[in-house]
Structure 1
Amino acid sequence: MWLVVETRIGDKASVETPFPTLSGVNFPSYRFISMEKWLRKRLCLEEDNSPAAAQLIRLTYMRICGLILEAIGWLLCITATGADEWRVWHSNNLPGISNGKLWIGIWRVCFIVDLHDDEPMKMHCLEFLEQYKSLPKEIFIAQDLMSLASVVLSLAMAFMSFALWNVFKNVRQKNVLLILFRVGGILTLLSGLIILLPLSWNMYNVIANEGILFPEPFNLPYLPYEQTVGFAIYVGFSASGILILSSFFILSKKYQITPNRVHPIIIVTPEPSTSRSETETCIRFGSLVSVDKTISEEQHFNS
């Protein structure tokens, strides 16, 4: 008896199923396939279609996407740290302030000075110094944590950039590269979690309508009649989400693209039938029987 195993992918039959590559997936964009060719060229894998090569290309895609998201998150983190609109106050009858609007950040408070009609509008800012003990703690904690997150994120980008540079240089020290990627991913995740604390704390105080005891030289009220969350907090939350997503891309161990399902077809080929010369007609029933098979069965029965 012969056993033949055949594999079928979709509607086409083939004897062997090659390992799926990114070019085998029906992506609508030609640029994506061109990028894979560029990666294969940079990684010296143009002629290598092995599973290890395909896995390396997929992991490189993930690391590049993680580094791009990391750079975007770093820019948003820097923007949120230096912005003056963590809180927006609306007050009335403030001396020297034209529209009664205050923009409060973690480094200073700014407002538009009330000038004469013939003079242009001027933004005036008052810095938050450490000797101003009356300021709430969340402002100084936000200064420290946002600065720390920016530094940690810069280190993460340095580790990631160095690791990817070594990948493109075709360095085969796999363990060292994995350590660099893991350190970069952990630092990225850590920075994304760090900035959540000052953002959430300041946002809660705005929603709870908490006041700020400014120093006496500022000559500003303790509590406005209305305060809203500034755009800097939303930018910071966006940075945190992007950084956490980036860390998942960086720390992912594998990225599998599901190939078309392989349907095995088992074809059983029966034994070749006995020839006419090896058969005789059964006297009782008139059917053809194998002479050799009948003789062997009789010998086995008699024994």
Structure 2
Amino acid sequence: MGFYVHPNCQAASFALNTLGWMFSMVCMGLAKWRIWYIESSAAPSRGLACVGMWKVCFYQPYSLHSRPIACHRYTYSDTYLPLDIRIGQHLLLAASLLALLGKVLTIMGLRRVYAGELQKDTTCNLFFASGVLSIIGGIFILIAVMWNYHAVISEEGIRFPPSLHIPFRPDWQEIGSSVPVAFLAAFLLLLSGLLTISFQLAPDNQVYPEVSQE
């Protein structure tokens, strides 16, 4: 017998998918994926550099709460970007698009359920496809997070243009605050996908026990 989940669970899954999609969009725009501490270089290179997936910002003095001196947005013509950032950009974009498409499919499935159009194959396929898309999107974000983590742990450098006055490699670097946001987005998308896939319509010929009246 198939496992039945109340349609309200799918509404909760839709809410989780929406939150995951929002966090995935937010983490893309943040610059604090890697925090670079630059001390040994001469001014104006001394300070903090926040390396993101789509931009790099330079702070001075060493405070993330101060206003950045300058932010440089990457373009597709920037050949100096390492492979992990280039692939991370595409993974995050794909994850956001997949989560958005999953939202649309979930809405279509919920519309059928609440409207009483219980066509089992069609409705379950909609929820199943939505769940798969959400799970793939969550995996894409996790790959970008883990690759960024490996780059920080390995102390990999980036050959920024001389005009940015950022050295190839900082004195030390650490994980930025954007990573927990991305990890939360991945978790929400994965959880939403698993809940959505678990949905199946109740059997048409349910058997109810007879209650004897004396």
TM-score by length of 1: 0.59
Give 5+ residue unaligned stretches, structure 2: 202-214
Secondary structure (helix, strand or coil) at the match of 2:71 reads strand
2:209 is aligned to none
CA-atom RMSD in angstroms? 2.3
Q: 1:68 aligns with which of 2, 5, 15?
A: 15
Matches within 5 A, 1:63-142: 63-92=10-39, 93-96=41-44, 100-112=47-59, 121=67, 123-142=69-88
Q: Deviations over 1:214-257 (max 9, x none)?
A: 122222101111211011112111211221111111111469xx
List aligned pairs for 1:156-175, cutoff 5 A: 156-175=102-121
The verdict on how the C-alpha distance between 1:173 and 1:121 changes in structure 2, with shifts beyond 3 A counting, is closer
Checking the alignment, whether the CA contact within 8 Å between 2:95 and 2:137 is kept in structure 1 is yes
User: Does 1:220 find its partner at 2:166?
Assistant: yes
Distance in 2 between residues matched to 1:155 and 1:131, nearest whole Å: 29
Q: Which amino acid aligns with 1:96?
A: P
The offset of 1:121, in angstroms, is 4.8
Q: Is the 8 A contact 1:132 1:215 kept in 2?
A: no
Report the CA distance between 1:140 and its aligned residue.
Answer: 1.1
- Alignment partner, residue 132 of structure 2: 186
Q: Provide TM-score, normalisation by structure 2.
A: 0.82
Shift of 1:122: 5.1
Q: Is the 8 A contact 1:188 1:246 kept in 2?
A: yes
Give the match for residue 232 of structure 1: 178
Larger radius of gyration: 1
Change (3 A) 1:162 1:216: same
Shift of 1:165: 1.8
Rate the CA distance shift 1:94–1:170 in 2: closer, same or farther, 3 A: farther
* Structure 2 counterpart of 1:17: none
Secondary structure of the residue aligned to 1:227 is strand
Q: Which amino acid aligns with 1:205?
A: A
The secondary structure found in structure 2 opposite 1:188 is: helix
The one-letter amino acid paired with 1:147 is L
Structure number with greater CO (CA < 8 Å, separation at least 6) is 2
Whether contact under 8 Å (2:55, 2:74) holds in the other structure is: yes
The whole-number CA distance in structure 2 between the counterparts of 1:130 and 1:240 is: 25
Does 2:165 correspond to 1:245? no
The structure that is strand-richer by fraction is 1
Deviations 1:181-231 (A, max 9, x none): 111111111111111212111111101111111122222101111211011
Aligned partners of 2:141 and 2:68: how far apart in 1? 32
